[in-house]
Amino acid sequence: MNARRIAGHFARADRRRGEQGFTLLELTIALVLLALMASVLVGSVRLAARSWDGGEAKAEQVSEMRQTGEFLREQLSAEFPLRIRKAVGLPLMFGGERNEMRYAAALPTRVAEGGVYYFRLAVTREGDKSLLVLERVIPDPDVVAEPSFSDAERSVLAAGIRDVTIGYFGRSPGAVVDETPTWRDRWEDPDRLPTLLRVDVTPEKGPAWPSIVVEPRRAPEAGCRAWDANRSRCMGAG
C-alpha cells in the first residue's frame, strides 16, 4: 500500500513538472544554440557574397585584359612609318623606352575620326589610381621634332595597373643586314621600326597579363621614296 502511494506521488510530481514547461537552464541552452546557428548562417551568407563579388571582379579583370590586348595587337601591328619630313635625316616618328612607347598609327573610325595619329602608351597615376593610358595627338607635318603630348586626348585602357614593360626586337642603328637581331629595352634607330614589339602589363593585384607580342606589318624602310640599303637610311620621304 505504501509502495503504491509513493509511486503515485512521483507520477503526479512528474506530471506537474511537465505542465510547468522548460526550466531556466534548458531555455538558456536553447537560446545559445539558436545564436550559434544564426551566427553560422550569417557567416555563410557573407562568404557567399564575397565569393560572388570576387568572381565578378575576376571576370571583369579578365574581360578588360582581353579587350586591351586585342586592341593593342591590332593597332601596333598596323603602325604607320610616319617621318618628320623637315628634320635632318627624315627620322621616324617613333620613340621606344622601357616603360613608354610613342608611335604613329591609324585610329579606328569607331573610336574617333579616321586618320593617322601620334600615340603614347604608358602608365600614369591619378591620385591613388594607376592607369594604363593611350594618349594621342594629330601630328603636324611641319614640325622639326617629335610632337609633344601636353594637350593630348587620352583613353584609359585599364585601371589598377602597376607597370608596363616594353621590349623591342631588331638590330642596332646602322647595323648591317647579317647582324643578329636581339631584344632590347630601348629603341634608338631613327630609320627603322622594330621587327617585333613585346608589351608586358603587370596589374597591382593578381598575376601579370600574358605577353603581347606584335609584328608590325610595315617594312622598316616603308615611307621612303629612296631607301639606302647599304647605309640603312632613308634618303627621301615617300
Q: Where are the domains of the chain?
A: 58-237
Mean pLDDT value of segment 26-48: 77
Mean pLDDT value of segment 100-128: 82
Work out the pLDDT band at 134, boundaries 50, 70, 90.
very high
Q: What is the pLDDT of residue 52?
A: 56
Work out the pLDDT band at 95, boundaries 50, 70, 90.
very high
Mean pLDDT value of segment 190-199: 90
Share of the chain above pLDDT 70, in %: 74
Q: What is the pLDDT of residue 13?
A: 52
Give the tens place of pLDDT for each residue, 135-169: 999 988 778 888 889 889 999 999 999 999 999 99
DSSP annotation of 219 reads -
Q: What is the pLDDT of residue 238?
A: 56
Q: What is the pLDDT of residue 48?
A: 62
Q: What is the helix (H) or strand (E) element at residue 105, kind and residue range?
A: strand 100-106
Query: Global pTM?
Result: 0.69
Mean pLDDT value of segment 77-92: 83
Mean pLDDT value of segment 200-223: 83
pLDDT of 77 strictly over 70: yes
- What's at 16, amino acid-wise? R
> 143-179: b or e for each residue (b if 16 or more CB lie within 10 Å)?
eeebbebeebeeeebbeebeebebbbbbbeeeeeeee
Please name which of 232, 225, 135, 138 lies closest in space to residue 190, comparing C-alpha atoms. Answer: 232
The rounded mean pLDDT for the chain is 80
Q: What is the pLDDT of residue 53?
A: 52
| Cell (9 digits) for 48 | 557567399
pLDDT of 130 strictly over 70: yes
